[in-house]
Amino acid sequence: MRRIEAVNDFVIKFANVNGTGSASANHMFAKSIFRMGIPVSPRNIFPSNIQGLPTWYEVRVSQKGYLGRRGGVDILLCVNPQSMADDIQSVEPGGYFIYDSSKPLDQRLRRNDVEFIGIPFTQMCLREYDDARQRLLFKNMIYVGALAALLNIDFAVLKDLVGDQFRGKEKLITPNVHAMELGYQYATENFDCPLSIRVEHASEIGEHISYTKHILMDGNTAAGLGAIYGGATVAGWYPITPSTSVIEAFERYARRLRIDPGTGQNNFAIVQAEDELAAMGICIGAAWNGARSFTATSGPGLSLMSEFLGLAYFAEVPVVLVNVQRAGPSTGMPTRTQQPDILAAAYASHGDTKHVLLFPSTPKECFDMTAQSFDLADRLQTPIILMSDLDLGMNDHMSPPLEWDDEREFDRGKVLSAEDLDNMDERFGRYLDTDEDGIPYRTYPGTHPEKGAFFTRGSSRDVYATYTEDGEAYVHNMERLLQKFETAKEYVPAPKIKLAGKKTSVGALFFGTTASPCYEAIEMLADEGSAIDTIRIRAFPFNAEVEQFIADHDTVFVIEQNRDGQLRRLLINECELPPNKLISILHYDGLPITARSIAMSMRDSLTTNKVTPIRRKTAKKVKS
């Protein structure tokens, strides 16, 4: 058998039972590699369940800094017999299968192109610990210790991490380190360590790119922190996976950073509402009254918020929504990732509505764009929807450090003060397009005793906010809203274009978490001689650069994680372009898209000139 030889470049997957504390041990494993200066991207693949079902944790280790999913598994560590048969099948030829040998392995499952490493984790725990809970938790630490020996992880780094993890609960440090040592010792005594797949300190193998300044952070925490920096004071919300941790992070940071030094009281208000409708209502009420407000939700919540989003669009109330997408439709797969809400968000609510969308691709962008959303919402007086997803939101991603420019100031948009109103000669008209950019001036309630009051409504009104059913006034207002959407193109983040370096008629267009594996796939194809230019979309409405990029190429792959090619449809809807130029590459099985599958799809298309949507077909046909 030819073993895979790899240093700092492999995929390891853990097969666990959920509710057994494995995720934190697995995270410690990933972070130890990160602290050795090696880029990692861990992904928790978990069920919508509290305890007892299979759960996986996949860690990509890539010295080159590829952070998307690669595809394939080189090492599988299995402590869950429920999923063992499939897990064994998933290992790449030449890879390793590490399993709990407390019970003998079913010999029918054995493969002769994979190295099997049996470690009696359960027996070791039974011998070492009396308490059932300790047996459960320390089993995780034992296998982390064993992996340290097998993969050449610096044990001192792991010990430091245990210290960090249990800061404040110091008496837990020694037993956890001891459990790791048990595993480490067993592996050293029984196997040739390290394996052919292993890690080395980045500095020791002469790596030039340093990741020591980088951070490991999930997108939801970054978005919650972005809301702190963006000046959000009011959050209304309703718990829903995978968005819950956005608000939890906001609250955690607010309790640290938003306590008024004079009174010890809160410079923020968070209300867990009765449902997503109320969550959005709270945000709209607060924003109408001059506070920066936001909420976070996922697919079903977006559906429920749609009516209110229409109100905010039409009544021109700034509000920020972080939509952490998951697999739909309906309840779909609540703990699996997708990018399936593009159309539902872009056109949320009945009537002619359009919303500004932002597409973050990294935790740093989650932070930056959430903070920026509040400026955009105030400037444009309309909802801003941040389109994150479960993969970005709930998994740790390696990211450059967060930055903040202290010179930067909030842009509160066109708001008239009492003084402004006093200095005005003309009558205040809430919906007058004074600057001809489609954005009118607003006032906060309570500003002036005599001037500037108006009636906000979801019904049609004239420029002075008075109810009207006059067709001309209605059309005038709707056209102005369209004009405002044009203006938005100047303010939203521009796309990121990377040219292949030589002339090519092929382009690739993508957004969000699809970007990282796309860049990797493009490099794979470049090595094979196919040059492809790329554009990463960062916002809707699409600005001129997007249309120009498509015009400049004969073929543009549109790569996204949903069934219907929703971004492609949005492009066709909103831009003047021939649809047959845009070739969809789609992936939507609930796991993040992989670089290998993207490369394969593009390769197929470029060699056969297929123009139908390319979907990754994993489903087996069911015979009745």
Partner 1 sequence: MSYSKPKFRHPDLPKNELGLSKTDYEGAISTLCAGCGHDSISAAILNACFEMSIEPHRVAKLSGIGCSSKSPAYFLGKSHGFNSVHGRMPSVATGANLANRDLIYIGISGDGDTASIGVGQFMHVVRRNLDMLYMVENNGCYGLTKGQDSATSDLGSATKKGRPNMYEPIDLVALALRLGATFVARSFSGDKKQLEPLIKAAITHKGFALIDVISPCVTFNNTATSTKGYEYIRSHADNMEVDFVPMREEICTSYKAGTTQQVCMHDGSSVHLHKTAADFDIHDRQAAMEAVYDHKKEGRILTGLLYMAHDSEDLHKVLDTVPKPLNALREDELCPGSRFLNSINEGLR
Which residues in the 229-258 window bind partner 1 by CB under 8 A?
229-231, 233-234, 236, 257-258
- Note whether 168 binds partner 1 by CB under 8 A: no
Contact flag: residue 217 with partner 1 (CB under 8 A): yes
Gap between the Cα atoms of 615 and 443, Å rounded? 50
Query: Position of tokens 């309906």?
Result: 330
- Using CB under 8 A as the binding rule, whether residue 281 contacts partner 1 is answered as yes
The rounded distance, in Å, linking the Cα atoms of 6 and 75 is 11
Q: How far apart are CA 15 and CA 542, in angstroms?
A: 41
Residue 406 C-beta: closest distance to partner 1, Å: 5
284 touches partner 1 by CB under 8 A: yes
Can you tell me which of 163, 329, 445, 579 binds partner 1, judged by CB under 8 A? Answer: 445
CA 468 vs CA 307, 334, 427, 471: distances in Å: 21, 43, 18, 8
Select the residue interacting with partner 1 from 450, 469, 472, 527 (CB under 8 A). Answer: 450
The H or E element that residue 498 is part of is strand 496-498
Please say whether the dihedral angle defined by the alpha carbons of residues 155, 176, 77 and 620, taken in this order, is positive or negative: negative
Site for partner 1 contains 275 (CB under 8 A): yes
Q: Is 165 in the site for partner 1 (CB under 8 A)?
A: no
Q: Which of residues 74-133 bind partner 1 (CB under 8 A)?
A: none
Beta carbon of residue 295, minimum distance to partner 1 (angstroms, whole number): 10
- For 403, phi then psi, to 5°, come to -130, 155
Q: Which of 28, 67, 273, 463 binds partner 1 (CB under 8 A)?
A: 273
Q: Is 279 in the site for partner 1 (CB under 8 A)?
A: yes
Residues with Cβ within 8 Å of residue 418, at least 6 apart in sequence: 447, 448, 452
Instruction: Tell me: does residue 572 bind partner 1 (CB under 8 A).
Output: no
Residues 301-330 that bind partner 1 (CB under 8 A): 307-308, 311, 315
Which CB sits closer to partner 1, 108 or 167? 167
- Residue 467 has what DSSP assignment? B
Q: Which stretch binds partner 1 (CB under 8 A): 271-279, 386-394, 570-578, 580-588?
A: 271-279
How far apart are alpha carbons 401 and 399 in whole angstroms?
6
Please name every residue paired with 325 in a beta bridge, in sequence order, or none if there are none: 389
Under rule CB under 8 A, residue 157 binds partner 1: no
Q: Which of 13, 27, 35, 569 contacts partner 1 by CB under 8 A?
A: 35
Our CB check for partner 1 shows the closer of 115 and 378 to be: 378
For residue 564, what are the contacts with CB-CB under 8 A and spacing of at least 6?
A: 343
Binding mask 414-443 for partner 1 (x = CB under 8 A): -----------------------------x
Phi then psi for 410, rounded to 5 degrees? -60, 140
Contact between 406 and partner 1 by CB under 8 A: the answer reads yes
Give the DSSP H/E element, type plus range, for residue 583. strand 582-586
Stretch that binds partner 1, among 147-155, 263-271, 529-537, 588-596 (CB under 8 A): 263-271
Give me the residue label for tokens 């980045």: 202
Q: How far apart are CA 45 and CA 22, in angstroms?
A: 12
Q: At its nearest, how many Å lie between partner 1 and the CB of residue 565?
A: 32
Spatial separation of the C-alpha atoms in residues 556 and 495, rounded to whole Å: 15
Residues 349-388 within binding reach of partner 1 (CB under 8 A): none
d(CA 391, CA 389): 6
- What secondary structure letter does DSSP report for 216? E
**In the numeric block, which tokens belong to residue 521?**
């796939």
Q: Which of 49, 174, 266, 331 binds partner 1 (CB under 8 A)?
A: 266
| Per CB under 8 A, 458 contacts partner 1 | yes
Of 109, 343, 402, 531, the one binding partner 1 by CB under 8 A: 402
> 304 or 586, CB closer to partner 1?
304
Stretch that binds partner 1, among 120-128, 171-179, 383-391, 401-409 (CB under 8 A): 401-409
**Which window, 13-21, 48-56, 340-348, 396-404, contacts partner 1 (CB under 8 A)?**
396-404
Minimal distance in Å, beta carbon 264 to partner 1?
9
Per-residue tokens: 33 = 């590699």
Q: Which helix (H) or strand (E) holds 508?
A: strand 506-510
Least distance in angstroms from the C-beta of 455 to partner 1: 4
User: From CA 609, how far away is CA 591, in angstroms rounded?
Assistant: 27
Tokens (6 digits) for 120 = 């009696």
Binding residues for partner 1, total number by CB under 8 A: 74
Alpha-carbon span 460 to 469, nearest angstrom: 6
Helix axes 219-229, 244-257, angle to 10 degrees: 40
Which of 55/295 has CB closer to partner 1? Answer: 295
Positions 530 through 559 that interact with partner 1 (CB under 8 A): none
Under rule CB under 8 A, residue 485 binds partner 1: no
Label the pairing between strands 54-62 and 40-45: antiparallel
Q: Which window, 101-109, 176-184, 222-230, 579-587, contacts partner 1 (CB under 8 A)?
A: 222-230
Estimate the crossing angle of helix 132-151 against helix 173-190, to 10 degrees. Answer: 50
Binding mask 506-535 for partner 1 (x = CB under 8 A): ------------------------------
Strands 533-536 and 506-510, by their bridges, are parallel
For residue 45 the two structure tokens come to: 């693949």
Closest approach of partner 1 to the CB of residue 281, in Å: 3
Residue 297, interface with partner 1 (CB under 8 A)? no
CB nearer partner 1, residue 380 or residue 465 = 465
Cα angle value 313/317/319 (rounded, 5°): 95
Tell the smallest beta-carbon distance from residue 351 to partner 1 (Å). 13
Rounded to whole angstroms, how far apart are CA atoms 110 and 42?
Answer: 27
Nearer to partner 1, 213 or 617 (CB): 213
